[in-house]
């Protein structure tokens, strides 16, 4: 598995565990909107808090405010892009 694929799987596993989703990490599509109940994973505000804490704890990357969180936590792709930009691959 490439480092990109490995990073994506780590992010997906973290999301599934934090949000207690009833799907396998591999079933979480990279471009699904995480907070859209109709077209995506349907996460809620409690899930946001858990994701922020876990991104910071697991990858050492801070999400300092709501605006940053809204951009970064949109999808698996946006989380991975943020981690790469921070040099955490």
Segment 52-65, tens digit of pLDDT:
999 999 999 999 99
Please report the pLDDT score of residue 54 as a whole number. 94
Please write the tens of the pLDDT for every residue from 6-45: 999 999 999 999 999 999 999 999 999 998 877 778 888 8
* Predicted confidence (pLDDT) at residue 89 exceeds the cutoff of 70: no
CA Rg, the chain, in Å? 12
Count of residues in the chain: 89
Cα 42–chain centre separation: 13
Q: What does CATH list as the number for 3-85?
A: 1.10.1200.10
Question: What secondary structure letter does DSSP report for 86?
Answer: T
Please report the pLDDT score of residue 1 as a whole number. 44
């Amino acid at each position: 598995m490439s480092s990109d694929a490995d990073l994506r799987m780590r992010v997906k596993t973290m999301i599934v565990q934090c949000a207690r989703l009833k799907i396998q990490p591999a079933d979480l599509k990279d471009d699904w909107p995480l907070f859209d109940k109709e077209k995506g994973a349907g996460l809620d505000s409690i899930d946001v808090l858990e994701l922020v804490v876990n991104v910071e704890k697991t990858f050492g990357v801070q999400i300092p405010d709501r605006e940053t969180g809204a951009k970064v936590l949109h999808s698996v792709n946006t989380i991975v892009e943020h981690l790469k930009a921070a040099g955490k691959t």
